[in-house]
Amino acid sequence: MGRSRRALIALLVVLAGLGVWFAPGPLARRSPEPSYLGRTVAGWETEIADWEPLVTGWGNKTGRWTWWARQGAVAAPRGPSEMPLLCGDPAAVPVLTALLASRSPRVRVLAAEGLGAIGGPGHHATPSLVRLLDDADPEVRRQAEQTLLRVDPEVATGAGVRWAAWEGIARR
């Protein structure tokens, strides 16, 4: 009986070890990274870093960024062929919300702009947008204010963001 008991205990230890070895870990239990149009958040960050909007109107013959565009005199066209995240598709909300936490100010601005194009259906990103109101980058703060007014005007007002025709968007 002693020998069979030891064999049974050894078998149980081996089975427990195999169970621990093959059991999904804590990383496997997390929800997958959000994706949009087949790209993950990391893929979109790379895309935004490489993206250069085309400029129409005044400028050089190539239509690329010029001195005029940098001065804000020429607006970049926004369309599906340029940057799908800016088209106002509510399916992009999870990716745009994740991009608001990026280390790159350019990515955060574009994510906020994309949520602004979506409007009300982007209300799930409201807490992240409120955090961006205190961002170190002034352009990120301005875009977060504009987006918050479009996505959730009540939360924007509560956060001190208001629209005045003579001042534009201002924060108290």
pLDDT of amino acid 21? 67
Please report whether residue 28 resides in a domain: no
Tens place of pLDDT for every residue, the chain, 172 residues?
Answer: 578 888 888 888 887 776 666 666 554 445 578 888 888 888 888 888 877 765 555 544 444 444 555 555 545 444 444 788 888 889 999 999 999 999 999 999 999 999 999 988 888 888 989 999 999 999 998 899 889 888 888 888 888 887 765 555 655 5
For residue 75, the domain's CATH number is 1.25.10.10
Three-state SS for 26?
Answer: helix
Please report whether residue 14 resides in a domain: no
Please report whether residue 55 resides in a domain: yes
Please report whether residue 57 resides in a domain: yes
Counted domains in the chain: 1
**If you write DSSP's letter for every residue of 113-168 in order, what string do you get?**
HHHHHH-GGGGGGHHHHHHHTT-SSHHHHHHHHHHHHHH-HHHHHHTTEEEETTTE
Please report whether residue 85 resides in a domain: yes
Please report whether residue 72 resides in a domain: yes
pLDDT of amino acid 64? 46
pLDDT of amino acid 24? 62
pLDDT of amino acid 98? 93
Q: Is the separation of the CB atoms in 85 and 115 below 8 Å?
A: no
Please report whether residue 11 resides in a domain: no
Give the distance between the most distant pair of CA atoms in the chain: 93
Please report whether residue 1 resides in a domain: no
pLDDT of amino acid 95? 92
Q: What whole-number distance in Å separates Cα of residue 137 and Cα of residue 132? A: 9
pLDDT of amino acid 97? 92
Range of the domain at 87: 38-171
pLDDT of amino acid 101? 92
Residue with tokens 């994706």: 35
Packing angle between helix 41-50 and helix 105-118, nearest 10 degrees?
110
